[in-house]
């Protein structure tokens, strides 16, 4: 019972991007994934990439608010990593996978969702990349760091908050245009 | 209402910042005006995308940080394969490539020797030699002209030489002079320049916590300007691993580099690029970099973006703007291998892979600064 409670707490921590929770999950599961990848023609560098991507999948799952995995974190991370590494191997025309006796669950839905999220992330990354400064910093200051318009005006050097706000909407419209042109194109 | 005002209203509506009256009015507007309705849907989606983007980015950086942190503390398996496992792994991975490469090499060798044998019977060697000699004569006249110029240059160089020597002694506070050094083995071996510890009676290492630790000189190579110290102080706590690697091959021109050193009592960061593969006066032991450097920077590690040490900062040319010289990292490796031959230093391990790859510069610097020390000399 206690283990179950801990797992739930860890997942809730992960949903908040809590460092302590991330570290605990990392510490307890990384070696397993490294063994899997290295045993199957991968490097420790590959293992790091695969494990971190699996952590992203877990993050996406708990972010939606459901902390009820129908299995242990270890099994979930292993199943996702296994899928991700198989996909990578298939791209290199190698199909086989040598494994130990680790339990595996189906993660089809999660993988589909993850691919979509990945796509969305790249789209936003591209749009932000095409935006340029000072628009990028201005939008991050307002929407991410949630700083007030007055603060932003003084740190960016606008004469007043009203001007900064106009500039912010100009930037926002440009970003939206870039984002939706990539988004609908892909 | 212009577009910005509409957008502002939409944002306030989504964020729930409208008062009840406004809200009722806006909802009616939404019902009657499909364009505004569409804008609300679209903007909600966009804001969600934007915040997800940020969350993903943040988590990615936390994951990278965690990886470095855990690897350093030894809580996850060492990021590199060692010994036999590595050989087996490399064999499995590259056996097919190696077989193909070997057969191509074989075929090429046979073809080449056949071609050479066939062609060589038609060539008159004597003529070729003559042509070459003429070339040399032409070159000789050119080289005479060059010699005159180089005589003039030599004078200038002598002046510069004197000036670079002036750079070498580096003042510090309690100790007479000092420089920078960095850890190359977890047991407390620190690399610095030989000129930093020249004529030293006592050497001390000062870490980021500002305490002095006594150290002992274990290796000096005047010609390559490399010295290795060992921290003998009891207060030294050896870390589980060193985050950076030492690169064996030469770095490329224009490769971005950065350095950390102690030109003053606090650690100072500087960034630049590799500007020439050779150092002062064509010196092949060193390379030229462009980075801000001051007295006390001697012995600072030069790192590339992957977190590999590519050299040790050693000197600066006073007569040229921004010309700083660094000793190639392979001489650090040579020095360490030399030292390993001595049975009492056999246990030295050379850091071979960097755990900093992929993390951003601020994170790299944060990690590395714990391994860069001020070297004080009495």
For B199-208, b/e burial (b = at least 16 CB within 10 A) is ebeebbbbbe
pLDDT, mean of residues B107-127: 70
CB atoms within 10 A of CB A137: 15
Residue B78 or residue A90, greater confidence: A90
Does the pLDDT value for residue B134 go beyond 70?
A: no
Are A34 and B77 within 8 A, CB to CB? yes
Are B62 and A124 within 8 A, CB to CB? no
Are A17 and B55 within 8 A, CB to CB? yes
pLDDT, mean of residues B297-301: 88
| Antiparallel, parallel or unpaired: β B245-246 and B308-316 | parallel
For B323-353, b/e burial (b = at least 16 CB within 10 A) is bbbbbbbbbbbebbeebeeeeebeebebbeb
Banded model confidence at residue B137, pLDDT cuts 50, 70, 90: very low
Interface with chain B: mutation pick from A14, A19, A21, A26, highest number of B CBs within 10 Å: A26
Does the pLDDT value for residue B136 go beyond 50?
A: no
- For residue B133, the model assigns a pLDDT of 41
Tell me the sheet residues that pair with B268.
B261
Does the pLDDT value for residue B172 go beyond 50?
A: no
- For residue B123, the model assigns a pLDDT of 47
pLDDT tens across B202-252, in order?
888 888 777 888 888 888 888 888 999 988 888 888 888 888 888 888 888
Residue pair A40/A10 in contact (Cβ under 8 Å)? The answer is no
pLDDT, mean of residues B343-370: 82
CB < 8 Å to A31, chain B: 76-77
- For residue A139, the model assigns a pLDDT of 87
Q: What is the pTM of this model?
A: 0.47
| Antiparallel, parallel or unpaired: β B268-276 and B256-261 | antiparallel
CB < 8 Å to B75, chain A: 27
A117 touches chain B (CB under 8 A): yes
Does the pLDDT value for residue B1 go beyond 70?
A: no
B67 touches chain A (CB under 8 A): yes
The distance of B14 to chain A (nearest Cα, Å) reads 13
* Average pLDDT per consecutive 10 residues, chain A (186 residues; last block may be shorter): 68 87 89 86 86 90 75 88 87 71 80 88 87 85 85 83 85 88 71
Q: How far apart are CA B374 and CA A119, in angstroms?
A: 47
- For residue B93, the model assigns a pLDDT of 61
CA R_g for chain B: 31
Residue B172 or residue B188, greater confidence: B188
pLDDT, mean of residues B332-360: 82
Residue B332 or residue B166, greater confidence: B332
Q: How far apart are CA A147 and CA B28, in angstroms?
A: 31
Q: What is the mean pLDDT of chain B?
A: 79
Tell me the sheet residues that pair with B270.
B259
Q: Which one of A23, A59, A124 has the shortest CB-CB distance to B70? A: A23
- For residue A51, the model assigns a pLDDT of 92
Banded model confidence at residue B131, pLDDT cuts 50, 70, 90: very low
Q: B303 phi and psi, to 5 degrees? A: -115, 150
The distance of A173 to chain B (nearest Cα, Å) reads 9
CB < 8 Å to A44, chain B: 77, 79-81
B60 touches chain A (CB under 8 A): yes
Are A19 and B92 within 8 A, CB to CB? no
pLDDT, mean of residues B137-164: 63
Among B33-42, B93-102, B183-192, B342-351, name the most confident range.
B183-192
């Amino acid at each position: 019972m206690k283990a179950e409670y801990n797992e739930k707490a860890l997942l809730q921590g992960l949903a908040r991007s809590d460092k302590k929770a991330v570290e605990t999950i990392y510490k307890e599961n990384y070696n397993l994934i490294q063994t899997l990848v290295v045993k199957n023609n991968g490097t420790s560098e590959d293992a790091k990439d695969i494990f971190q991507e699996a952590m992203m999948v877990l993050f996406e799952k708990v972010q939606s608010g459901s902390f009820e995995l129908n299995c242990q974190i270890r099994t979930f991370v292993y199943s996702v990593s296994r899928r991700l590494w198989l996909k990578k191997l298939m791209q290199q025309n190698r199909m086989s996978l040598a494994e130990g006796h680790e339990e595996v669950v189906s993660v089809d839905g999660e993988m589909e969702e993850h691919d979509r999220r990945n796509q969305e992330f790249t789209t936003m990354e591209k749009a932000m990349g095409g935006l340029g400064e000072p628009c990028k910093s201005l939008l991050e200051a307002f929407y991410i760091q949630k700083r007030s318009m007055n603060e932003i005006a003084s740190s960016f050097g606008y004469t007043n908050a009203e001007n900064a706000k106009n500039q912010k909407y100009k930037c926002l419209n440009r970003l939206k245009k870039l984002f939706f042109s990539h988004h609908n194109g892909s | 209402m212009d577009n910005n005002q509409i957008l502002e209203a939409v944002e306030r509506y989504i964020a729930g910042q409208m008062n009840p009256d406004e809200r009722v009015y806006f909802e009616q507007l939404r019902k009657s005006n499909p364009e505004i309705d569409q804008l609300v849907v679209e903007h909600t989606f966009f804001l969600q995308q934007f915040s997800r983007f940020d969350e993903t980015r943040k988590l990615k950086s936390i994951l990278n940080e965690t990886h470095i942190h855990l690897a350093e503390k030894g809580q996850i398996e060492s990021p590199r394969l060692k010994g036999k496992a590595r050989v087996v792994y490399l064999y499995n991975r590259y056996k097919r490539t190696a077989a193909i490469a070997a057969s191509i090499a074989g075929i090429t060798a046979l073809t080449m020797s056949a071609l050479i044998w066939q062609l060589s019977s038609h060539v008159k060697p004597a003529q070729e030699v003559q042509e070459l000699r003429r070339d040399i004569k032409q070159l000789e006249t050119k080289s005479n002209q060059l010699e005159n110029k180089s005589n003039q240059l030599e004078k200038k160089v002598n002046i510069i030489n004197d000036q670079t020597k002036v750079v070498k002694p580096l003042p510090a506070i309690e100790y007479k002079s000092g420089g920078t050094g960095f850890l190359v083995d977890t047991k407390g071996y620190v690399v610095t320049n030989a000129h930093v510890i020249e004529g030293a009676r006592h050497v001390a290492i000062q870490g980021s916590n500002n305490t002095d630790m006594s150290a002992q000189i274990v290796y000096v190579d005047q010609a390559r300007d490399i010295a290795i110290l060992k921290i003998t102080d009891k207060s030294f706590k050896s870390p589980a691993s060193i985050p950076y690697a030492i690169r064996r091959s030469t770095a490329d021109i224009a490769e971005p580099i950065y350095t950390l050193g102690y030109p003053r009592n606090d650690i100072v960061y500087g960034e630049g690029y590799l500007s020439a593969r050779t150092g002062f006066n064509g010196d092949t032991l060193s390379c030229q970099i462009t980075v801000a450097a001051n007295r006390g920077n001697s012995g600072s590690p030069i790192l590339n973006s992957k977190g590999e040490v590519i050299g040790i900062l050693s000197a600066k040319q006073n007569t040229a703007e921004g010309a700083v010289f660094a000793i190639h990292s392979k001489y650090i490796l040579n020095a360490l291998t030399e030292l390993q031959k001595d049975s009492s230093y056999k246990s030295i391990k050379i850091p071979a892979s960097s755990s900093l790859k992929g993390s951003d510069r601020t994170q790299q610097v944060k990690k590395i600064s714990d391994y860069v020390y001020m070297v004080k000399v009495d």
